[in-house]
Amino acid sequence: MNTWSRSQYQELPLQQLHYLVIFGNIDESLPPLDSLRYRSTGLPEGIELEFASREESPELWDQFQKGPAWELFCESAPTIVDAIKNSPTCVIARGQIADSDSLEPLGNVVGIITSLLDSGGVVVYDILTATWFDSLNWKMSVFEPGLEGLAKLVVVQQESENHDESWIYTRGMRRFARPDISFRNVPSDATAEAELLVQFLTYCMMDGAVIPDGKELVFKDLRPTFSVASPVKIRCTLAGSLDDPHFFNFFLQVAIVSGTSHPSTSADPPSS
């Protein structure tokens, strides 16, 4: 993907959801947007900016400064954490926009967020993924790479389920109007391959692909660590809802069907 277009786009009756908070000292009287500098033509229809002050709405600061993501950020960037706690204002960018065969609207949102960081913003909190970005990290990882940087707005996470199994899942795919991915009961010696598989499915859907409910896919080049022979066949089952307490989204439940030597649909995940 080297343009804003989604080469695998198929229509799906979902909308892209965006929800980010920028903390800092940002004046409501923003300067005119430099469209060339920020690669943005302005806010897409359906996205709004809401300005808030810590003096009038302290609950906003309290609401976001808790949980594992905040604790990790406190350990890694204590100076920036102090700046957030003392920031007098924040800007909430949120709303839904129609899904389409172009990611230009999302690029416009990223450009707007970057301009806010250059207008007194200190840090961005992505509510969909529970991820904190300081200004430099946002610019280097999300804004500067252009289209490729949008992948940083989806996270692949791993949690232990049993002593020898893991749960690998995504958060943030609702931003692309696509379901998240959930892969449970992954053997401990197969987590690298499983994460690669999840990343591959994620990239395809960010590029607009639709994986139908019940779809079976065969991956030819995964090492035989799923207790089945390679190639590995998986089945993707649609579950959840937009009110799901974990994903706030539908999700594709990935399950190993079997090893097979007669693939009907094949796919090759990218190299790590």
pLDDT tens-digit readout, 223-270: 544 555 567 888 999 999 999 888 889 999 999 887 544 333 444 444
- CA 80, 40, 127, 253: dihedral to nearest 10 degrees? -130
pLDDT tens-digit readout, 105-120: 999 999 999 999 999 9
The reported pLDDT for the residue numbered 47 is 96
The reported pLDDT for the residue numbered 3 is 72
How far apart, in whole angstroms, are the C-alpha atoms of residue 125 and residue 131?
Answer: 6
One domain for residues 143 and 168: no
One domain for residues 213 and 142: no
Task: For residues 91-95, give the mean pLDDT.
Answer: 96
Cβ atoms within 10 Å of 242's Cβ, excluding its own: 12
| Tally of domains in the chain | 2
How far apart, in whole angstroms, are the C-alpha atoms of residue 106 and residue 99?
Answer: 10
95 inside domain:
yes
One domain for residues 35 and 104: yes
Tell me the torsion sign for CA atoms 219, 220, 224, 228. Answer: positive
One domain for residues 244 and 131: no
Last residue of a domain, one of 152, 171, 188: 152
How far apart, in whole angstroms, are the C-alpha atoms of residue 73 and residue 57?
Answer: 22
The mean predicted confidence, pLDDT, of the chain is 88
CB proximity list for 36: less than 8 A, separation 6 or greater: none
One domain for residues 28 and 142: yes
Model confidence at 221, pLDDT cuts 50, 70, 90, reads low
> What strand order describes the sheet that includes 47-53?
47-53, 89-98, 15-24, 121-126, 131-134
Structure tokens at 28: 């409501």
User: Which residues form the domain of 245?
Assistant: 154-267
One domain for residues 40 and 129: yes
Last residue of a domain, one of 120, 152, 184: 152
Last residue of a domain, one of 132, 152, 172: 152
6 inside domain:
no
One domain for residues 147 and 160: no
Angle between helices 78-85 and 68-76 (to 10 degrees): 120
How far apart, in whole angstroms, are the C-alpha atoms of residue 23 and residue 162?
Answer: 38
pLDDT surpassing 60 at residue 24: yes
One domain for residues 62 and 160: no
One domain for residues 176 and 127: no
One domain for residues 70 and 89: yes
9 inside domain:
no
3 inside domain:
no
